[in-house]
Amino acid sequence: MNKLAVITGATSGIGAEFARQLATTHKTLWLIGRREQKLNQLAEDLRVQYGIEAHVMIMDLSDQSVIDQLASQLQEQSQLSTLVNNAGYAEDGEYHKLDWRLHEDIMNVHVEATLKLSYAALQVMTANKLGSIINVSSVASFLPTPSSPLYGPTKAFIRTFSESLAIKYKDYNIKIQALCPGFTVTDFHEKIGLNPDNFYKERGLARSWSSEFVVKNSLQDLQKGKVVSVPGWNYKLIVIVLRLVPISWILRILYKQGTSHRYSE
């Protein structure tokens, strides 16, 4: 079977690394993103190194009509084997001060796209009784994100949505995973105005990991059937603590620390 992997947010960071690692097991990749030059370079590198077909698709998933277009295309791909819903970002600011369109856009990218693309992919995968869907959530899905009011909540939706699907579709031999990375070395923080050289310095328990490490752990956990993948010993520990302590304690700590945190998958 000429297996197809579809990756949103494939331009750089975790998405680009998924493309590199999935190129070893798939004959065809769809690389979806907004930055054409970077995507073209990635596609060419993959063609040369792995001898695969790599198709660049310039799409802005904040537009619902674009999501619908991609979903329709997915339903026609009988060879679809893997879908990675990786596209995502944060909008920082006070909820009532941000333009409402910014809230709509992040909801479309994180929620609407994940829902519709997963729905489309499952039409194919249930017929084949085989497939994998990886939805990129975040460690931030386990706690409030006051400086980025929709980031944590939408990532929490992605995680719990994936957990819900994983139970039902196991009977179809379909693996569904919520990938919950902590700080990861990508260009995410540079794009929201932070100096990456300063940001990625040693952060104690919240130290960062490379995209290569995160994706390798995700794919290993997928094969093991782990529904929630948390790469890195430190973030596994953080998630255990967040699951155990009362929410009132977490809120009290956040109140004391203020709202100066930034988040990233």
pLDDT in tens, 188-241: 545 545 555 555 555 566 778 999 999 999 999 999 999 999 999 999 999 999
Q: Which CATH architecture best describes the domain 4-257?
A: 3-Layer(aba) Sandwich (3.40)
- How far apart, in Å, are the Cα atoms of 42 and each of 15, 19, 32? 11, 9, 11
Give CA–CA dist 63/145, Å, rounded.
24
pLDDT number for residue 73: 98
List active site positions: 151, 155
pLDDT number for residue 265: 46
pLDDT number for residue 194: 52
Distance of CA 93 to the CA centre of its chain: 22
Tell me which of 35-39, 91-95, 193-197 is least confident. Answer: 193-197
